[in-house]
Amino acid sequence: MKNLNVVAAVIYYQDKILCAQKSAHKYPYLSNKYEFPGGKVESEESYEEALIREIREELNLNIEVKEYLLTIKHSYPDFNIQLVTFSCMVNSIEELALNEHQDVQWYTIDDLEQLDWASADIPIVNYLLNNKI
């Protein structure tokens, strides 16, 4: 089974968090699910560099990586994922573009539970609810 090393950004803007909805996916269990955006870490890239690159590519946003939050190890039916998660800030969302997602929403921490999250992202939601950073 394939193992993926992935980063995710919990992006804050004006006390809300960006929640990105996936488009249709080759694995139906990921289609239309919400996630914290990010992507695969390339060789010779730090986690922070990968996160900045991926968010720029996917959402056209320039983020500032603030701090490491947690690492999730999750097994999906078709692959394993290690999801390294960071808290990030963005100063402007004027240039926001959906290059890979079908939608984004901005939610307060307390409202995150109402979304249909990808399985690997649920522990991040729980961490945020329990730590209220």
3-state SS, residue 129: helix
Give the residue extent of every domain in the chain.
2-131
Q: If you classify domain 2-131 with CATH, what class do you get?
A: alpha beta
pTM for the structure as a whole:
0.94
Convert the pLDDT of each residue in 65-119 to its tens digit: 999 999 999 999 999 999 999 999 999 999 999 999 999 999 999 999 999 999 9
